[in-house]
Structures are given as structure tokens and as C-alpha cells.
Structure 1
Amino acid sequence: MRRNLAIWTGVILAVAVPIIAAAASPLLAWREPVYIAAGFAGVVSMCLLLMQPLLAGRLLPNLSPVTSRNWHRWCGLALVATILIHVGGLWITSPPDVLDALLFVSPTPFSAWGVIAMWAAFAVALLGLLRQRLGLRFRVWRLGHTGLATVTIIGSVVHALLIEGTMEIMTKWALCALVLLASARALAKLRVWDVRRRA
């Protein structure tokens, strides 16, 4: 019971502390509300990226496999929504910068990583929605789904670490490290690379 409580407390703190720290960022001073909303959408996206492998790998206590799977889907949809808000808000505040990023001609390296992560996230969501129609074996489908999710995670982590924005530095590094650790733990548990056996 204490272990379960400690895990949930840790997860809540891992999500809440970066958001609270970002809210106190001096970089938000004199910024437009749309820009602030876009920045916080990016922070929330990183928090959702932490939840996704924890839910997919059934690493959170007191959640049944069905509940974990359902929350994984809802978090995936929320992640797509926060990405759209993030990019849409930045488009409103500075269309040329977003256009340069989408065309991979931006002089800032973090832009390319963010765009790669964005398209990979959209592909993950689309693959999830079309799972039944594609008619793939579950393990093959999961390998593709997880591969694209890994691209999303790596791209997002590099994007977040390179950019000097809303997130506070120490909490940003801690959150990114937790995202990578949770992802590695889920991959090791699920063994998604093994497509020989049936689920």
C-alpha cells in the first residue's frame, strides 16, 4: 500500500512541479495570452508523454489492464490536442517562424525536432484509430505504433531540451529524464520487438 502511494505521489509531483515552475517563469512577463497558452500546451504535452508509457506498460498500480489501455487512448487524444494548441498558438503569434519550422528551413535546431515529433505523434494517433481497418497482426501493429511513439518521445525530449522557453531548466531536465526512463521500462516489459508470437 505504501509503495503504491509512493508511486502515485511521485507521478503527480513529476507532472505538477514542471507546470508550477513554468507558471513562475519570468519569460512569461509581457507575453500575449495566446503565446502563454501555446507554451503551457507544450509543457502539458511533455507531461502526457510521461503518462503514455506508464499506462501502455501497465506500470501504474491499482489500474486494471483495461483501465490502463483506456486511459492510454484518452491521453493520446489529449496529446494530439495539446500539440495542436501549441503549434496553433505559435502560428497566431508568429506565422513565419512556424512556416519555416514546418518546411525545415528554420535556423533553430529545436524547430526541426519539434516538427518531427509532431508528425510522428499524429501518425501514432492515426495508426491507433485505424488499427481494426488495417488488419495487421497485433504484434506487428504494436511494433509500428511503438516505433512511431519512440520517434515522438525522442523528438519531443530533444526539442524541449534545446529550447529556452516556458519550462524551468531543472524541472525540464528531470521530466525529460523520467519520460525516457518510463519509455525504456515499458519497452523492456512489453517486448514489442518480438513479432513471432501471437498476442
Structure 2
Amino acid sequence: MPRAKAAIIWVALATLIAVAFAVAATSPFLQYRQPVYILAGFAGIAAMVLLLIQPLLAAARLPGLTPRRARSLHRIAGAVLVAAVLIHVGGLWLASPPDVIDALSFASPTPFSLWGVLAMWGTFAAALLAGLRHRLPPRLWRVGHTGLVAGVVIASAAHALLIEGTMGAMSKALLCAAALAATALAIRDLKVWQLLRRRGQADRPSVSDMSKPR
């Protein structure tokens, strides 16, 4: 990849991330908030940023990184993502336990809570599946992990967009759109749908099989 194009990609990515954090840091919603609540909020932003970076690493789309290095960073970023989600939810629990209990029990009246809980459990499930990679058939693992991750990104974007909080409306929309686009790009590059098609063809009996006497 030409150096100019690689530089543009890195600058655009860094700018998008920096703006998301900078806008949140200057938000009037931070006034009078507890430090643990602020920490939880920024952990949520970090999780959304990682959902943008993760598919780019999985598909080796970040210039200057070899596929092997990208996969290694993908695993590390996955662990950091789980930690960010735990800090996000744990901080909100310390700030307001009743709200978190309502969200986890799907009793919250706010739609963004539902999407947030779905994204949380999806993240944990994807991380668990990542740990079982060498114990599952490669095709089953790839389809399952990719499907869970795609669901997490969609749920996280809905969660973020429905919240009126510290993230700016424009920067939040751009970050969510970039994460969704990066995920779609990775799915296209990894050709996961072809695995589903092959699985369907393998399960479908052939003409010769159907003609055999039973």
C-alpha cells in the first residue's frame, strides 16, 4: 500500500477516535457526575472504539501490520474490550445499582438499556467462543464468532445512538457508522457467507444419493 494512502488511513482513524473522546470530555453532562460514572462512560466510549478497530485487525486492513501481527493485536484488543465492558457496567452499578438491575433483568423502560445488555452478553459470548477456537470445527467457529461480533456491533451502535449522554451526536454517529462499515468490510474480506453456502451444499443430498435405494 502506498505510504500516502496508509498515512491517510491512520490519520483518519486517529482523528475519529480523538474527536470522540475530546467531545465527550467537554460535555456539559459531566458536570456534577460522580468520578465512577465518568469512568464508566469513557469505558463505554473505549469499547465502541475497539469495536471499530477489531474488525480492521481481523481482516488485516490496517496498513503497516502483517496478518500475523494483526491477529495477535486482535486477541489483545478483544481482552481489552471485555475489560472495558466490565468497567462500563461495573461503574454504572456503583453509580446507580437500581438502574443496572433493571437493565440486566430487562425491566428498564429505556430502550437503550436493552441494546446495551444484549451487546454486553454478546461480547462475553464472542470472547468465550474465541477461547474455544481450537476445540471447535474451524468453519463452525468462524461463522459463530463472526455472527456474534456482528450482533454486538449492531446492538452497541443502537445502544450508543439512543443515549443522550456525554458523546456528541455527530461524533457518536460517525463512530458507530465507521464500526458498522468496518464490520461489514471484514465480513466481506473473510467471506464468511461462503462458509454458510458450503455448509448448506454439504448438508444437501446429491442426485446420486437420492437415487440410491433405501
Common fold: TM-score over 0.5: yes
2:157 maps to 1:154: no
Residue type at the aligned position of 1:129: G
- The aligned residue for residue 85 of structure 2 is 83
- The aligned residue for residue 185 of structure 1 is 185
- The aligned residue for residue 143 of structure 2 is 143
Equivalent residues in 2 for 1:3-42, closer than 5 Å: 3-42=5-44
2:123 maps to 1:121: yes
- The aligned residue for residue 104 of structure 1 is 106
Answer whether contact 1:53 1:186 (CA < 8 A) is retained: yes
TM-score, length of structure 1 as denominator length: 0.96
Q: CA deviation at 1:138?
A: 1.4
Q: Structure 2: how far apart are the matches of 1:193 and 1:129?
A: 22
Q: Structure 2: how far apart are the matches of 1:4 and 1:154?
A: 27
Q: Structure 2: how far apart are the matches of 1:101 and 1:161?
A: 17
- The aligned residue for residue 207 of structure 2 is none
- The aligned residue for residue 169 of structure 2 is 169
Within the candidate set 58, 68, 71, 1:69 is matched to 71
Residue type at the aligned position of 2:144: G
Q: CA deviation at 1:194?
A: 2.0
Deviates more, 1:181-190 or 1:113-122: 181-190
Q: CA deviation at 1:193?
A: 2.1
Q: Deviations over 1:79-131 (max 9, x none)?
A: 10000000000000110100000000100000000000000000000110111
Equivalenced residue count is 195
Query: Matched residue of 1:89: which SS?
Result: helix
Q: CA deviation at 1:165?
A: 1.1
Q: CA deviation at 1:137?
A: 2.3
Q: Structure 2: how far apart are the matches of 1:170 and 1:24?
A: 14
Q: Structure 2: how far apart are the matches of 1:194 and 1:141?
A: 14
Query: Matched residue of 2:152: which SS?
Result: helix
Please provide the CA RMSD for this pair: 1.0
> Identity over aligned residues, as a percent?
56
Q: Structure 2: how far apart are the matches of 1:194 and 1:34?
A: 45
Q: CA deviation at 1:62?
A: 1.1
Q: Deviations over 1:138-174 (max 9, x none)?
A: 1221110000001110000000000111211110001
Query: Matched residue of 2:193: which SS?
Result: coil
- The aligned residue for residue 194 of structure 1 is 194
Larger radius of gyration: 2
Residue type at the aligned position of 2:190: L
Residue type at the aligned position of 2:150: T
